[in-house]
Amino acid sequence: MTATGNGTYEGFTADERAAMKEHAQEQKKAARRGSKADKAAEAERDLLAKIAEMQDSDRIMAERVHAVVTATAPGLAPKLWYGMPAYALDGKVLCFFQSAAKFKARYATLGFNDPARLDDGTMWPTAFALTEVTPEVETRIAALVKQAVS
């Protein structure tokens, strides 16, 4: 949400409104699908198509994140969430990949939502900046996903 220099609320940014519209379209599309298996297959196809649309560096990272998440936790359901690749546990989004281009940021993000069991005391990270997915980063992502679903 944007605010002017004097603190006056100006509403959602164009990027935020676009993300909300994408989410509404995702919900409508999911409601029209047939069986549970059909819904799951189409959701994964939508996710892979969204990744394929990304710019080179974001696409490469999203492909690697997808491979690591699905290999580490095959029980998670791939889906789109506000136009981002996401992975759900029992219908709730556990983690997601946000491309740098999505909100014109300088880095992509791997984020975790409430269902993720990353608790570590009274404060812990739930989002991680990504500029490249190296073998070391893949190992860390796998460990985070494994902890998140445990």
- Position 6 confidence tier, pLDDT thresholds 50, 70, 90: low
User: In angstroms, rounded to a whole number, what is the distance separating the alpha carbons of residues 58 and 65?
Assistant: 10
Give 7-38 pLDDT, tens digit per residue.
Answer: 777 888 888 888 888 888 877 777 766 788 88
70 closest CA partner among 39, 102, 47, 98: 47
Give 100-117 pLDDT, tens digit per residue.
Answer: 999 999 999 999 999 999
Reduced to 3 states, what is the DSSP secondary structure of residue 85? strand
- The CA R_g of the chain, rounded to the nearest whole Å, is 16
